[in-house]
Chains A and B, each alone.
Chain A
Amino acid sequence: MIKETLNTRRLLCPLPVIRTQDKVKQLQPGDVLEVAGTDPGIMQDIPAWCRINGHKVLETRSGDHEYFIVLEVGT
């Protein structure tokens, strides 16, 4: 179940990571966030950011020059 979404379309890395970081700060552990973007770099950068900050990537997918990452906020 997606609880929150974040649109980072047109933004280039690292801005999608920064927006994700700022959004996650407002969420609680266990909350789920779907990030959408057009910079393919988010497919590496957001999972890397999740790994170092203790969040879990639940799903990544892409299509038609758009990229999506679903993550679960860690503790």
Chain B
Amino acid sequence: MNQQRKAVALISGGLDSMLAAKTVMEQGVHVEGINFFTGFCVEGHTHAIRDKDKAKPKRNNALWVAEQLGIKLHIVDVIEEYKNVLINPKHGYGAHLNPCLDCKIFMVNRAKRWLVENNFDFIITGEVIGQRPMSQRKNTMPIVAKQSGADDLLLRPLCAKNLPETLPEREGWVDREKLHDITGRSRKPQMAMAEQFGIDDYSQPAGGCCFLVDKFYTAKLVDLWQAQGTKDYELDDVMLLKVGRHIRPAPNFKLIVAREEGEGRFLQGYKKDYISLVSVSHNGPLVLLDGEPSAEDLFLAARITARFGQGREAEQVDVAILDKDGLERVVPVTPLPKAEIPKNWYI
């Protein structure tokens, strides 16, 4: 009897990777999913933080896809390793800070490592030639295969017929004739295939799979790097960029102002790591201060804090300033008038 072959499928949570896995499963191959958490994935972080988003049903799409397919899913934390991909992408960035080609190479390479450790036979991705301008072009497909080290162990079931034969096809582990030849940006072939498989509920991320394609998010990341004077980050930085209003009145410090209660609760968790400010005479948001402020800066930060609370029109607001060691002092300030907060302070 033929040995059942095993494939590891990169599952992003979108339709293409789901269809790719399904196509190969239909051929009797044992498939398990792998999903990489880079820190920038759009998986409900802001939903988890913001109260206003709580009403929306929230699910992790990769887990959901795996459940629909009836396969195991291995979620791998690659936060540390991913830093090098984002900070020094060999192939550069896309429209924002998205290093898509390096990212793909990295993920396929990690999948290859997983394959070796777990004794699997080949790798599946949902890539389609011409689907994405940076990472899914005809000439980038061999680059991903080669530079990831996966070479012909990498099968793209949705466009395999337009690519050279891979090992699983040559060995007869999968039948090339039953693979597909999708090209281009149209989603119609995928939607037809989904219908054929009886899949009617799937997520279709508009831009891409992560915050690195979001222009507002990446502007904050660029600002962080400029302020630090170096392109580096920790997971907490990445998380905090998703929360609150970010206001930079001077190069040496910025403020993160909670926009609502859920964000305030989330920012509370960071009070030991940052100076924090809150109005005590009136209701107002929790504000974190990131940087090294002078006494004057602190006074300005307190005035801005007062501006975002219910005392914004009051003559005087008392603002408590808590330093990282837990020492608190209360300063009376006049809220900064709206007109005195220039637009370019908002990051």
CA distance A12 to B71 in the complex (A): 24
Per DSSP, chain A at the interface is: helix
Chain A residues within 8 Å of B, Cβ to Cβ: 10, 12-15, 17-18, 21, 39-41, 44-45, 48-49, 51-53, 65
Known contacts A45-B59, A45-B60; decide if A14 and B43 are in contact (CB<8 Å): yes
Give, as a whole number of angstroms, the nearest-CB distance from A33 to chain B: 17
Per DSSP, chain B at the interface is: mixed
Known contacts A41-B58, A52-B67; decide if A13 and B44 are in contact (CB<8 Å): yes
Which of these, A17, A41, A51, A53, contacts B47 with CB under 8 Å?
Answer: A41
Partner-binding segment picked from B1-9, B72-80, B99-107, B204-212: B72-80
Interface size range of chain B in the complex: 20 to 34
CA distance A18 to B41 in the complex (A): 14
In the A-B complex, the 10 residue pairs with the smallest Cβ-Cβ separation, listed nearest first, are A39-B48, A48-B63, A45-B60, A12-B45, A10-B269, A18-B77, A41-B48, A52-B66, A12-B48, A18-B75
Give, as a whole number of angstroms, the nearest-CB distance from A62 to chain B: 12
Q: When the two chains form their complex, are residues A40 and B48 in contact, meaning their CB atoms are under 8 A apart?
A: yes
Q: When the two chains form their complex, are residues B47 and A14 in contact, meaning their CB atoms are under 8 A apart?
A: no
Q: Apart from A45-B59, A49-B73, list 6 A-B contacts with CB within 8 A.
A: A14-B41, A18-B77, A40-B58, A48-B59, A52-B67, A53-B73
- Report how many A-B pairs have Cβ atoms within 8 Å: 64
- Contacting residues, chain A, for B64 (C-beta < 8 A): 48
Chain B residues within 8 Å of A, Cβ to Cβ: 35, 37, 41, 43-45, 47-49, 54, 58-60, 62-64, 66-67, 70-77, 239, 265, 269
CA distance A41 to B60 in the complex (A): 8
Which of these, A10, A15, A39, A52, contacts B63 with CB under 8 Å?
Answer: A52
CA distance A45 to B67 in the complex (A): 11
CA distance A48 to B62 in the complex (A): 10
- Contacting residues, chain B, for A39 (C-beta < 8 A): 48
* 7 A–B pairs (Cβ distance < 8 Å), ordered by A: A13-B48, A14-B60, A14-B62, A17-B63, A40-B48, A48-B63, A53-B73
Give, as a whole number of angstroms, the nearest-CB distance from B148 to chain A: 22
Residue of B nearest to A37 (CB): B48
CA distance A65 to B77 in the complex (A): 25
Known contacts A12-B49, A48-B60; decide if A21 and B66 are in contact (CB<8 Å): no
- Contacting residues, chain A, for B47 (C-beta < 8 A): 41
Q: When the two chains form their complex, are residues B63 and A65 in contact, meaning their CB atoms are under 8 A apart?
A: no
Give, as a whole number of angstroms, the nearest-CB distance from A18 to chain B: 5
Known contacts A21-B75, A49-B63; decide if A44 and B37 are in contact (CB<8 Å): no
